[in-house]
């Protein structure tokens, strides 16, 4: 009987963790079930960590960030498949 209570408590806890994670996803804090990170986001995150261990990677990270900033500032339309846009081409919030 005690094992059933423990399993039930774990299921309830996982349900509440899922609810909190969905709320955080709606706020834009994390990616959970409904939205996905852009493909370059994970690579840039690993590069940031690697730049702490290998200082020469810092220059590469700065170049990537500068290129992204230049793309955002240019008046050109976004590239097809850009993760920062919604279906109508407007910037996602």
Q: In this predicted structure, what is the pLDDT of residue 56?
A: 73
Listed as ranges, residues in the chain with pLDDT below 50 are 86-87, 93
Number of Cβ atoms within 10 Å of the Cβ of 16: 9
- What pLDDT is recorded for position 15? 96
Q: How many Å apart are CA 63 and CA 60, to the nearest integer?
A: 5
User: Which sequence spans correspond to the domains of the chain?
Assistant: 1-33, 37-73
SS3 content of the chain, % helix, strand, coil (to 5): 60, 0, 35
Position 93 scores a pLDDT of 46
**Separation of CA 35 from chain center:** 9
Q: What is the pLDDT of residue 12?
A: 97
pLDDT of residue 82: 56
DSSP single-letter state for residue 89: S
pLDDT at 6: 96
């Amino acid at each position: 009987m005690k094992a059933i209570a423990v399993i039930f408590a774990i299921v309830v806890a996982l349900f509440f963790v899922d609810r909190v994670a969905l709320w955080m996803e709606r706020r834009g804090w994390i990616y959970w079930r409904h939205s996905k990170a852009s493909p370059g986001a994970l690579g840039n995150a690993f590069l940031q960590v690697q730049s702490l261990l290998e200082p020469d990677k810092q220059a590469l990270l700065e170049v990537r960030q500068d290129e992204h900033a230049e793309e955002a500032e240019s008046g050109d339309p976004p590239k097809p498949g850009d993760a920062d846009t919604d279906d109508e081409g407007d910037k996602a919030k």
